[in-house]
């Protein structure tokens, strides 16, 4: 594979002629964001407009320092916990390398994620497999690769997994429980309450029954309990409630079966900033209060404190990437609206269409003296709902050929990308210290054609 290296671009932040204003710093932008020459915006020392010229658009620019820095921050904040990066937010071999080198484990939810990680050299013992509907093939692959832990999510899985396991090489498992806690920004991603497909509800006794059944299987080593409340949670409170609920169940398990389970997995869902004024989950506060609460509740229940596991996905990958699009058309309608259409959309970022997720967007690579106006940034797909940013504040003289950058694009965009309209998925470049390297090439129509084997 050819490595495309960008030369470092010298800059004097804030003073270069035509520099973007310093308000890009902070908020949802990576910490390395700096004004660049010619109104470019540097991420990891690489100009976004320059990268767009070199690699084409839409382009996902992944800041290695931001991803690694966030992984490292988790390790430091929770030195006694195990931190597993949730691969479903975004996974490629480089990402697997970075989180592995920063001391994290990996949480995967399919044989695809599992295979990619292990092929990249990620140690299988540090991988946890979860999912509400794991196929027999997935479970067999997980066993063959010797994954560290498997999360049991439904009754059928207990027997299915037990049948694969010889008693002399037991499989470490967690039971996923539903603690009955509503948290998260959107009903579609709330997984801590009943009435959704994941886990065994505590209420009504399903969780206790599953625990009893797993304990009955000699091939399954029940290491602990798992829960995952949802996504984009910015307050610590729901996690404290989850600690209470899980510790109650750990105490009940001890009382009923005489076993103290050594692990407690609180899942992920840690919220990030998408808009400049947004709150994110405060990692330091999370670490202190969850650790304290766990110690207090265990002392009250006379339990040894289990090892805490957390599974952040979005909080590591989300802020690390910026999506760059090229404007293809600017349309003013008779009723006074303005639609700015770009060369990507719901096929590379389905989140706005799926959840109504908000984003901020900015012009890069050209200085505009025009005042701001309100426009809808829309995608290029044949779907009226293909809107990326509603009511975005952008220069009034925006025109075809301009480049728009959207921060906080690292999680649940590429990993949810589709082949809609045969547009093909964007390229991904990693940037670091002024150099850019292509990680994933752009998907072309030839890739679609190559999968065809009949007509």
Ligand X SMILES: *Cc1c(COP(=O)(O)O)cnc(C)c1O
Q: Which stretch, 235-243, 312-320, 338-346, 360-368, contacts ligand X (CB under 6 A)? A: 312-320
The span from the CA of 388 to the CA of 58, in Å, is: 13
Among 241, 311, 348, 402, binds ligand X (CB under 6 A): 311
Number of residues binding to ligand X, judged by CB under 6 A: 17
The span from the CA of 48 to the CA of 324, in Å, is: 7
Q: Is 239 annotated as a binding residue?
A: no
- Marked catalytic residue, from 92, 227, 298, 382: 382
Nearer to ligand X, 190 or 425 (CB): 190
Q: Is 280 annotated as a binding residue?
A: no
The span from the CA of 427 to the CA of 298, in Å, is: 48
Total count of residues recorded for the chain: 455
The span from the CA of 272 to the CA of 30, in Å, is: 12
Q: Classify residue 66 as left (phi > 0), alpha (psi -120 to 50) or beta.
A: alpha
Among 148, 238, 269, 365, binds ligand X (CB under 6 A): 269
Residues 177 and 343 sit within 8 Å (Cβ to Cβ):
no
Nearer to ligand X, 47 or 131 (CB): 131
Q: Is 383 annotated as a binding residue?
A: yes
Q: Is 313 annotated as a binding residue?
A: yes
Minimum CB–partner distance for residue 93 and ligand X (Å): 19
The span from the CA of 388 to the CA of 164, in Å, is: 45
User: Going residue by residue from 225 to 244, which x/- string records binding to ligand X, judged by CB under 6 A?
Assistant: ---x--x-------------
Question: Could you report how far apart the first and last alpha carbons of the chain are, in Å?
Answer: 32
Q: Is 412 annotated as a binding residue?
A: yes
Nearer to ligand X, 82 or 386 (CB): 82
Q: Which of 344, 316, 435 is nearest to 42 (CA)?
A: 435
Minimum CB–partner distance for residue 438 and ligand X (Å): 25
Our answer to whether residue 382 is catalytic in this structure is: yes
149: contact with ligand X by CB under 6 A: no
Strand intervals (E) in 284-441: 307-310, 321-332, 338-342, 362-364, 372-378, 387-395, 403-406, 427-432, 435-440
314: contact with ligand X by CB under 6 A: yes
The residues that touch ligand X, with contacts defined as CB under 6 A, are: 86, 88-89, 107, 130, 228, 231, 267-270, 311-315, 411
User: Which residues are known binding-site members?
Assistant: 269, 311-314, 351, 355, 383, 412
Question: Which positions are annotated as active-site residues?
Answer: 382
């Amino acid at each position: 594979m050819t490595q495309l290296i960008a030369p470092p671009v010298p800059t004097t932040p804030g003073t270069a002629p035509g520099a973007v204003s310093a308000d890009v710093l902070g908020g949802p932008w990576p910490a390395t964001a700096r004004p660049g020459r010619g109104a470019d915006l540097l991420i990891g020392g690489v100009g976004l407009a320059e990268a767009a010229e070199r690699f084409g658009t839409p382009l996902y620019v992944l800041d290695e320092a931001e991803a690694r820095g966030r992984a490292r921050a988790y390790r430091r904040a929770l030195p006694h916990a195990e931190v597993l990066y949730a691969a479903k937010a975004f996974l490629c071999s480089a990402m697997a390398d970075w989180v592995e080198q920063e001391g994290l484990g990996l949480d995967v939810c399919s044989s695809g994620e599992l295979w990619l990680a292990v092929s990249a050299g990620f140690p299988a013992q540090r991988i946890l497999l979860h999912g509400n509907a794991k196929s027999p093939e997935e479970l067999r692959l997980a066993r063959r690769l010797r994954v560290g832990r498997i999360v049991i999510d439904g009754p059928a899985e207990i027997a299915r997994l037990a049948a694969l396991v010889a008693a002399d090489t037991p499989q470490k498992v967690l039971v996923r429980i539903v603690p009955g806690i509503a948290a998260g920004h959107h009903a579609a991603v709330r997984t801590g309450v009943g009435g959704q497909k994941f886990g065994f509800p505590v209420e009504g006794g399903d969780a206790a029954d599953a625990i009893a059944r797993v304990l009955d299987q000699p091939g399954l080593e029940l290491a602990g309990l798992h829960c995952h409340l949802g996504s984009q949670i910015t307050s610590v409170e729901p996690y404290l409630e989850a600690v209470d609920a899980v510790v109650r169940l750990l105490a009940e398990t001890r009382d009923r079966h005489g076993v103290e389970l050594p692990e407690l997995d609180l899942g992920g869902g840690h919220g990030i900033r998408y808009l400049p004024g947004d709150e994110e989950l405060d990692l330091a506060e999370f670490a202190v209060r969850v650790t304290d609460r766990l110690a207090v509740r265990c002392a009250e229940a006379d339990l040894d404190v289990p090892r805490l596991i957390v599974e952040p996905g979005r909080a590591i990958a989300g802020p690390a990437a910026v999506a760059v699009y090229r404007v293809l058309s600017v349309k003013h309608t008779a009723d006074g609206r303005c639609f700015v259409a770009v060369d990507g959309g719901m096929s590379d970022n389905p989140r706005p269409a799926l959840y109504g997720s908000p984003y901020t967007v900015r012009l890069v690579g050209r200085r505009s003296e025009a005042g701001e106006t309100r426009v809808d940034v829309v995608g290029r797909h044949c779907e009226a709902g293909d809107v990326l940013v509603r009511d975005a504040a952008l220069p009034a003289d925006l025109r075809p050929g301009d480049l728009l950058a959207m921060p906080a694009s690292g999680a649940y965009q590429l990993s949810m990308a589709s082949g809609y309209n045969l547009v093909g998925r964007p390229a991904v470049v990693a940037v670091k210290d002024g150099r850019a390297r292509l990680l994933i090439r752009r998907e072309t129509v030839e890739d679609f054609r190559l999968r065809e084997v009949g007509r």
